[in-house]
Structure 1
Amino acid sequence: MASSRLKLSRIVALAAGTLMAALGAAQAGTPVKVTLDWAFQGPQAPFLLAAERGYFTAEGLDVTIDRGEGSGAVPPRVASGAYDIGFGDINPMIRFVAEKGVPLQAVAVLYDASPLSVIALKKAGVTAPKDLAGKRLAAPETDSGRQIFPAFAKAVGIDPAAVTWQTVSPQLRETMLVQGQVDAISGFLTTGILTLKAAGVKEQDMVVLRYRDYGVTLYSNALITSTAFARSKPEALAGFVRAVLKAHIEAVKDPDAAIAALKKRDPLIDPAIEKERMLLAFNELMLSPEAKANGLGGIDPARMQTALDILKATYGYAAALTPGDVFTDGFLPPKDARTLP
């Protein structure tokens, strides 16, 4: 009899444990793995604000956010299935889709303007794009500015082969410029300018050649996913987009809260520098008149087609892409839920 009661108690305990595990899994939400484009810096802070304020949890998501190594690394990470969603420059994704035939799409474009730039110090003798010929430039191979440099070179009338590239880790790029080991660097102006300022370089001593000022008018950072994930978990994807857009809008309203969430993730950041970096990204890249008029996340199809034509002419791939091949607005919330202040 005692043996029967013991067996029954074990069965009950096992059933209870199984139920609790199932409830715990349900409460945890749908797992979503996200790769950013870069380190945890100011422009990435809204993702951490979304987690801090429970925006992901409210959408039934269990989100893991990892740092990146450049926008060029985002498409292969997502295409491989290692990550469900990426945040990075849309242009390397477009090239990846065109050349590899991998079905990736952007589901929200957060940066209406491009931050791609070449940054030099005046002491290197670079004051205009033509001065880059014969110079040494440093960047990671996956850096979006390096990958799109041929389009910039074509726009300003120099041979892309006229520069010598030195492949470096993200952490060493600005250091090498300051030390004079290279003449210029490519990358996002939000990273380069603020990292150089943190290293003691005055902004008036920098030369920032913005690609968009020379006719390379591209869109930039977007939320990128695979069509496989979009089809298998459409509700999770739509919820993630809602949470991220909401967090960016709230970060515009309350930048200090976003930087506080960032500091919890990386206690070694300089809050003042990262706040300045985030606001630079917002003011130069995100808060455009078009985005304010039409809501955060969308695109103008005609402008996107122009960008696609620029990339095709630059890289010479055979694929003739249309905006619908690289972007869908099907996961965006209504305009009133993504209206910028």
Structure 2
Amino acid sequence: MTTRIFRAGLTAALVLASAMGAQAQDKTKVNFVLDWAWQAMHGPFLIALDKGYYADEGLDVTIDRGFGSGDTIAKVAAKAYDFGFAEGTSLLKFNTENPDDQVISVLIINDESPTGVISVQKNGVTTPQDLMGKKISATQNAATVLVWPVFAQLNGLDPEGIEYLFVEPSLRDAMVLQGQADATFGFATTTVLNMVQAGVDRDDITYFTLAQYGLKPYSSGIIVRADYAKENPEVVKGFVAATVKGLVDMLADPEEGLKLLKEREPLIDEKVEAARWELAEELSILTPSVIDLGISEVQKVRYEEAAMQVAESFGIDVQPKMENYYDPSFLPSRQDRQVPEAAKERAAAK
């Protein structure tokens, strides 16, 4: 009897293992690359992975760190990855230069860009007007440098009114902290926290974004090759739906995503990443538009006006049409993209 019971148990185990193996084989393998090294902004993807949201959509997702939005776009275009998380404004230039490898956004997470001007209190740089006559550390040909003339025009400033100190990206913040530059151009969600890690008191850091003063292109989100999206619509819909669920959960409880981030990358500073997420919510994710309309509820007029400004900055002779760069047809229902009440309360309290 013992032998029969053992054999029956073994048979059941083998059947279960076989079924699980078949189930895993049925899932579509998806390779996903981020924009940079693991940070708080990537918490929603880890939640979607950990909670099985991707698996529920029939997807077997692998996530790799990135090395900059430009690199991410190039890798997706080259079919090294199926999906990427990247700054969407870069698609204008890329698609113009690569007509046979078009890449589109299918979900916008950062409703506004955190790109801006960062300094310290003693330098007195808190508005665009304060930049006149100042020294700015920047990286040559960086997006912020290219859009500066348009931004200056929007704010009635002389584009030649600042002095650039061009350095490598890793040196931009240090130039300000060492007193060699009055301010720097960059992502506030990166530079502000870099300064905090360097020992600067958070209250001593000043910043504003270009979006706060009129230059408002939609920013980072999920990108994919246009032909891949056309050939695999259900995969794209499933990936986007699962990612939205992860983002909604992260907005409801940031600690959930930050805990998973620490497990994925043990070397991160949890306090710094919590502050980074808070800043990302403030500057990019929880904008009044997102709170009112929902996640990735993109307005065509705003999209094309901002895209035209960016195209002009990049010297691109094109009249941007939203449908060539952003396709909302893969989004889940608007109801599923609403901001949770806990996030609305945090935004209202600021």
Q: TM-score, normalised by structure 2?
A: 0.82
Q: Letter of the 1:105 partner, please give it.
A: I
Deviation string for 1:201-260 (max 9, x for gaps)? 123332313101221122111211111211222211111101111101001111111100
The equivalent of 2:116 in structure 1 is 117
Identity %: 34
Structure 2 residue ranges without an equivalent (≥5): 1-13, 341-350
CA distance in 2, matches of 1:54, 1:246: 10
CA distance in 2, matches of 1:140, 1:236: 38
Question: How far is 1:137 from its partner?
Answer: 1.4
The equivalent of 2:89 in structure 1 is 91
The equivalent of 1:276 in structure 2 is 275
CA distance in 1, matches of 2:134, 2:75: 34
**1:169–1:300 Cα change, 3 Å:** same
Q: 1:27 aligns with which of 15, 25, 37?
A: 25
Question: How far is 1:25 from its partner?
Answer: 8.3
Q: 1:75 aligns with which of 73, 76, 86?
A: 73
Further displaced range: 182-191 or 270-279: 182-191
CA contact 1:89–1:144 (8 Å) conserved in 2: no
Residue 317, structure 1, aligned to residue 349, structure 2: no
CA contact 2:34–2:84 (8 Å) conserved in 1: yes
**1:258–1:155 Cα change, 3 Å:** same
CA distance in 2, matches of 1:140, 1:27: 47
Structure 1 residue ranges without an equivalent (≥5): 1-15
CA distance in 1, matches of 2:179, 2:69: 26
Q: Letter of the 1:332 partner, please give it.
A: L
Further displaced range: 177-186 or 105-114: 177-186
CA distance in 2, matches of 1:160, 1:77: 36
CA distance in 1, matches of 2:160, 2:185: 13
CA contact 2:148–2:159 (8 Å) conserved in 1: no
The equivalent of 1:7 in structure 2 is none
Question: How far is 1:43 from its partner?
Answer: 1.4
CA RMSD, Structure 1 to Structure 2 (Å): 2.9
The equivalent of 1:304 in structure 2 is 303
Question: How far is 1:158 from its partner?
Answer: 3.4
Question: How far is 1:62 from its partner?
Answer: 1.9
The equivalent of 1:261 in structure 2 is 260
The equivalent of 2:5 in structure 1 is none
Q: Letter of the 1:185 partner, please give it.
A: T
Q: Letter of the 2:109 partner, please give it.
A: L
The equivalent of 2:329 in structure 1 is 330
CA distance in 1, matches of 2:338, 2:55: 22
Deviation string for 1:105-130 (max 9, x for gaps)? 11111122221112123445645435
CA contact 1:139–1:185 (8 Å) conserved in 2: no
Q: Letter of the 1:270 partner, please give it.
A: D
CA contact 2:111–2:285 (8 Å) conserved in 1: yes
Q: Letter of the 1:40 partner, please give it.
A: W
The equivalent of 1:248 in structure 2 is 247
CA distance in 2, matches of 1:241, 1:163: 43
**1:21–1:93 Cα change, 3 Å:** farther
Further displaced range: 117-126 or 223-232: 117-126
> Tell me, what secondary structure is at the counterpart of 2:31?
strand
**1:305–1:255 Cα change, 3 Å:** same
CA contact 2:40–2:274 (8 Å) conserved in 1: yes
Matches within 5 A, 1:1-341: 23=21, 26-27=24-25, 29-101=27-99, 102-124=101-123, 126-129=125-128, 131=131, 135-139=135-139, 144-146=143-145, 148-156=147-155, 157-159=157-159, 163-164=163-164, 166-170=166-170, 172-180=171-179, 182-341=181-340
Question: How far is 1:334 from its partner?
Answer: 0.9
CA contact 1:136–1:184 (8 Å) conserved in 2: yes
**1:153–1:65 Cα change, 3 Å:** farther
> Tell me, what secondary structure is at the counterpart of 1:293?
helix
Q: Letter of the 2:72 partner, please give it.
A: V
CA contact 1:154–1:160 (8 Å) conserved in 2: no
Q: TM-score, normalised by structure 1?
A: 0.84
Deviation string for 1:169-205 (max 9, x for gaps)? 55x5434543445443322211111221222212333
CA contact 1:145–1:188 (8 Å) conserved in 2: no
CA distance in 1, matches of 2:148, 2:68: 14
CA distance in 1, matches of 2:82, 2:132: 38
